[in-house]
């Protein structure tokens, strides 16, 4: 098996339906900003 190309439309379809849960307790704001900045824009956080 090699590299499989997935078109952008398919990725957007899954991002629109995806939710990401980030557990947080007494974390520094800078750490939370770093984690959230790595989440795709179309995902629910």
Query: Counting beta carbons within 10 angstroms of the beta carbon of residue 39, is it exposed (0 to 12), middle (13 to 18) or buried (19 or more)?
Result: middle
The tokens of 44 are what? 């629910």
pTM strictly above 0.75 = no
Q: What is the pLDDT of residues 32-42, one digit of tens each?
A: 999 989 887 77
Q: Please name the residues in contact with 42: beta carbons below 8 A apart, sequence gap of 6 or more.
A: 12, 15, 16
Range 26-31 average pLDDT: 92
pLDDT above 80: residue 26: yes
**How would residue 31 be classed by pLDDT, with cut points 50, 70 and 90?**
very high
Classify the phi-psi angles of 10: left when phi > 0, otherwise alpha if psi is within -120 to 50, otherwise beta. Answer: alpha
**Distance, CA of 25 to chain centre:** 20
For the chain, give the mean pLDDT.
87
CA 32/CA 34 separation, integer angstroms: 5
pLDDT above 90: residue 19: no
């Amino acid at each position: 098996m090699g590299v499989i190309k997935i078109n952008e439309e398919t990725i957007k379809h899954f991002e629109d339906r995806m939710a990401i849960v980030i557990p947080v307790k007494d974390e520094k704001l800078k750490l939370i900003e770093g984690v959230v900045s790595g989440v795709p824009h179309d995902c629910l956080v």
